[in-house]
A and B are shown apart, each in its own frame.
Chain A
Amino acid sequence: MTYKRRISALAAAAVGALALSACGGGASTAGSDGGSKSLTLGSVVEASAWDPAQAHVGHYIPMYEAAYDTLILRSPDGQLEPMLATDWSWSKDKKLFTLNLRDDVTFSDGATFDGEAVKANFEHFKKDNGPQASTMQNVESVEVVDADTVAYHLSAPDPALPIYLSNAAGFMGSPQALESQAIDSVPVGSGPYVMDESATIAGSQYTFKKREGYWNPELQKFDTVTFKVMPDTTARLNALVSGQIDAALLDPKSEAQASGAGLVLTKQQVDWQGMFLFDRAGDQVKALGDVKVRQAINHAIDRKSILDAVLLGQGTVTSQIFGESTSAFDESLENYYDYDPAKAKELLAEAGYADGFTLKMPSATGFDPVIYSSITQQLGAIGITVKQENLEGNEFRNRVLSGDYPASYYGIFQGEPWIAIGHHVGKDAAFNPQGYTDATSQKLIDRVQQGGKDGDDAAKELNRYVTEQAWFVPFFRVDQMFFNSKDITVQQQIQQAVPSLYNYAPAA
């Protein structure tokens, strides 16, 4: 009677709800579809908007590389090679950068790639205010010399420009698609793959299919490429082990399991982590103004133990901020500061701080809490009282970058010297909120800006200067633990968090 009706209604509702859940989130994974080659990558991040002006570097790059080409291609070892541009050159005053372009490239919507397209992309890039817009801050305009030649007019020399044009600023989208909002959801570029909208679920999975008529079939190693969004490390681990994905970044704590499951490990160092001593001028904390104090801090940290505890030893203890692959790297600076609390105390006393002092530092949820507690403990051992203030992720960045704190722990990308200077060494660098500078460093920085052999030498000198002056307290370079299945081969990309899409190939 009524009873039965009620129960069947409930049952129908339940089945309905389950069916609903079946319909959504039900795109099939790019897997073995008999004969065709597919690549499935576990991505740490969700794709941002697909507008190339919104492109980001690091974990986002392979996704944009699926749909877009860059002007210049960066090979796995960091060399710059032709892509949409065939060759390029600097003017004598280093303020004009000219590129010759290919004439046989079309976008997936049929538009032609030419000088006008480059100019349109540049203007859109600046206007659209994406996360990498600051890389073009020194470029005033792009001149279309002719159909296959463009010239970048700079307001000041920028030796990193070619690198930028091999990254976010170099992605070229179809000019007519750039202005519409549709390009945020579906990319329109000249790249090796095209998005398969039917197999794409925003926030969860992005699928791309090989593009017919792509000008460089050599770069199209697969028929289908799928990015699965998996921010959780354990999820990526499980997916790798079970074969759901072919490659992903993991972490030291899951290494044992991954290796045990027969996955291939490649390590790559991209970031350095350590303390930034923003207040080198001593405005907030007088003590920090004295180089001896900063050096004392460097000697007080037991880098190896922290590395072992937090990253299970996966990394390299270092005292310099420049990376191994960069021209500024100096092997002899690697262990400039050894762990020596006694010496640290001595230095402090010499500087007149035998009783120590107080240091306010922010802590964020992004780093392992063990790091913060170790800093507090180890600095405390030489008499420096560290007051930790826990900040929310957003707050952290804002407060730190606006100079609220004299020092902070952070991790930062080790790019080429000019990029690193722009990030955290130069007086206008984001991570130099106090704007600290001095004559010696500025002279060196100016030389680096000019590029060339002298620029490289200056970079090395700068490295030595910064290290001896203890502007920072580098702890270690972090090993990125990248795992892939035996079905594919992959080459790591220097100075990039994850390999470029072009670096993957099916195993022979």
Chain B
Amino acid sequence: MRRLAANPMALAAGAVLATIIVLSAGASIFGRYDPNVGDLANVLLAPGGEHLLGTDDAGRDIFSRLLHAGQTTLAAGLLAAAVAITIGTPVGILAGYYAGRLDSITSWIANMILSLPGIIVLLAVRAATGPSVWFSMVVFGVLLAPSFFRLTRTAVQSVRNELYVDAARVSGLGDVRIMARHIFSVVRAPLIIQTAMVASVAIAIQSVLEFLGLGDPLVPTWGVMMADAFRNVYLQPLLVLWPGLAIAAVTISLALLGNALRDALEDGQKTPKAKKQPKDAGKEAAGQHGPSTGAVEASAEEREHLISVTGLQVGYPQAGGTLKRVVDNVSLHVDRGEVLGLVGESGSGKSQTAFTILGLLPETAQVAGGRILFEGEPLLVAGDDVRNRARIAKLRGRGIGYIPQEPMSNLDLAFTVGYQLVRPMRKVLGLSASQARDKALELLATVGIRHPERTFNAYPHEISGGMAQRVLIAGAVSCEPKLLIADEPTTALDVTVQAEVLDLLRGLQQRLGTGMLLVTHDFGVVADICDRVVVMRQGTLVEEGDVRTLLRSPSHEYTKTLLASTLEGKEPMTMLGLERAK
């Protein structure tokens, strides 16, 4: 509720809607005239004087008529929404719970209903049943029911799956009751939002029908008023304005309100606007968390490294205005030809650090402090736009390469493997088509793919996970970068394949002399291939050192815990086995 109130659009919409509802409900109080009584001597008067909004073609006071009409219009919209909920929700619940044939049948019916153009159906129904606002709204409610059906069905399905975990412990009766409670909590919010939207649509459609003369012209509704107004449009054009505004105000407010509700409920997911970080804010934020590095010149030492990260602070703005830091004052460096392991649990900020270097963070991220130098040149300074820095754009692929974690989702399924290898090379290295193709085939062979030609022509869905990862590695090194950033390159692979890929990586790195920043949670991988290690925890760097030292005698408590926990169920590495023996 509070979040809702904070949204200015929601407040405005809510205020408008509330005003209209109050005015309509109290039509007899606010409108001084009988909506159906007209003075034929005073038709089509302009607004002002006795009549706030003037009179219509029967001499009736427009303002009073508008308010009374509001009652009927709003009630009718509500009726349609109510019918839709009453039909859609229970059926959706049943379909989601029992699944099977019931689900298929009801889903098919729902799809069928959704595929009909509403107006045509309503016209046909009207041919059969005659003019009646209420009946049309009931029918329209039926037409709208599928949206509620889908909503509840999806909700029930998700809850049901969760519950199967506990199925063993829960008795049959308790099952239903727990489901009921869970369903309500899951379904409640979307239902409210959907109701707002549905009511908006219902009012719109109802107005259309009445405007077309398919309603009861003697019962004042906004649609009827529009029809009256349009009939007299040559005589008094202003008449269309009032009911038009009323309809517009209600339908738009309902939609805005529904949308704002949805935003308020999806708290963290809905990101507030990403603003360009002003330079001062960066320095200021940096000052609160350790030594400010913004204004300080880069030291000579920093410039020596292949890549040096100093005092990096990255965060995401929260709804309340605070910045949630995911990388908090992290400093590290990688030298030419060395492999740095970046270790931590999930949520430690290790991937975020890697993405920051590459400039691949989501738009909402903000760099609050620190800097990154690549080959001595500034790559990132506080206040930079995290995505579109010109400097990093030039370096991607050529200076810094990236090996992603999940092989299958990192290839575009619509293009062949070959295309995805060749195209960057042509762009970045300026090779011709045939040159790039030759090089690609060569690379595929290098990474251990047995039939390079076949793989080259294949689509990603036709190759295995292991092959895909090799392809990605090939791609990463294809433009001969000086630094490779590997994000958990083996985590998603089978154990046997892991070892092969690690060998491959090590071989490549040594042969090409690239520096590598290897992000991982697996100390085994660290021991296998890294020269140095840094450990991160909840955004901060807790320990740093060369591999042997850190693994043998970690100084920080957290590192010790981490090491201990990774030993469970894993093959003890030689050095660590020594450690235990101690």
Query: Residues of A at under 8 Å CB distance from B?
Result: 253-254, 256-257, 302, 305-306, 308-310, 363, 365, 368-370, 372-374, 376-377, 388, 390-392, 395
The reply to whether the CB of B178 lies closer than 8 angstroms to some CB of chain A is no
Task: Number of B interface residues at 8 Å Cβ cutoff, please give it.
Answer: 24
Stretch at the interface among B36-44, B196-204, B320-328, B435-443: B36-44
* B325 CB → nearest A CB, Å: 42
Query: In the complex, are the beta carbons of B234 and A256 less than 8 A apart?
Result: yes
Contact B43 A309 (CB under 8 A): yes
Name which residue of chain A comes closest to B216, CB basis. Answer: A390
CB <8 Å contact, A391 and B40: no
User: For residue B36, which residues in chain A have a CB less than 8 angstroms away from its CB?
Assistant: 373, 376-377
B508 within 8 A of A: no
Shortest CB distance B232–A (Å): 7
Return chain B residues, CB-CB under 8 Å to A306.
40
Residues from chain B with a CB closer than 8 A to the CB of A305 are 40-41
Whether B38 contacts A370 by the Cβ 8 Å rule is yes
* A395–B130 touching, CB < 8 Å: yes
In the bound complex, CA of A250 to CA of B218 (Å): 25
- Chain B at the A interface: SS class: loop
Nearest Cβ distance between residue B433 and chain A, in whole angstroms? 13
Q: List 24 A-B pairs, Cβ < 8 Å.
A: A253-B231, A253-B232, A253-B235, A256-B234, A257-B234, A305-B40, A305-B41, A306-B40, A309-B57, A363-B217, A368-B57, A369-B58, A369-B217, A369-B224, A370-B58, A372-B218, A373-B37, A374-B38, A377-B37, A377-B38, A390-B216, A390-B217, A392-B130, A392-B131
Asked whether any CB of chain A lies closer than 8 Å to the CB of B424, the reply is: no
A376–B216 alpha-carbon span in the complex (Å):
16
Task: Find chain B residues with CB under 8 A from A309 CB.
Answer: 40, 43, 57-59
Bound Cα distance from A415 to B216, whole angstroms: 32
Q: Which of B37, B58, B218, B234 has the most CB of A within 10 A?
A: B58
A328: min CB distance to chain B, Å:
30
Considering the chains assembled together, what is the distance between the CA atoms of A139 and B217 in angstroms? 43
Known contacts A305-B40, A391-B130; is-contact A374 B234 (Cβ 8 Å): no
Give the contacts of B197-243 with A (CB-CB under 8 A).
213, 216-219, 224, 228, 231-232, 234-235
Give the residue of A302, A363, A377, A392 whose beta carbon is less than 8 angstroms from that of B218. A363
B41-69 vs A, CB cutoff 8 Å, 1 = contact: the mask equals 10100000000000001111000000000
The residues of A that contact B130 with a CB separation of less than 8 Å are 391-392, 395
A303 to chain B, nearest CB (A): 11
Determine how close the nearest CB of chain B comes to the CB of A307; give it in whole angstroms: 9
Residues of B with Cβ closer than 8 Å to A? 36-38, 40-41, 43, 57-60, 126, 130-131, 213, 216-219, 224, 228, 231-232, 234-235
6 closest Cβ pairs, A-B complex: A305-B40, A370-B58, A390-B216, A369-B217, A309-B40, A392-B130
Residue of B nearest to A308 (CB): B40
Give the contacting residue for A369; candidates B40, B218, B235; CB below 8 A.
Answer: B218
CB proximity of B137 to chain A, nearest CB, Å = 16
Inter-chain contacts of B40 with A (CB < 8 A): 302, 305-306, 308-309, 374
Chain A min CB distance to B213 (Å): 5
Q: A308-B43, A363-B218, A374-B38 are in contact. List 17 more A-B contacts (CB 8 A).
A: A253-B231, A253-B232, A254-B234, A256-B234, A308-B40, A309-B40, A310-B57, A368-B57, A370-B57, A372-B218, A373-B38, A373-B58, A373-B60, A373-B218, A376-B36, A390-B218, A392-B131
For A253, A254, A363, which residue has the most chain B Cβ atoms within 10 angstroms?
A253
Assess the A365–B59 pair: CB atoms within 8 A.
no
Q: Which residues of A contact B131 (CB under 8 A)?
A: 365, 390-392
Q: Which residues of A contact B217 (CB under 8 A)?
A: 363, 365, 369, 390
- Most interface-central of B40, B41, B126 (chain A CB within 10 A): B40
Instruction: Select the residue from A257, A306, A372, A373 with max chain B CB neighbours within 10 A.
Output: A373
Q: Nearest CB to that of B36 among chain A residues?
A: A373
- The complex places the Cα of A377 from the Cα of B235 at a distance, in Å, of 24
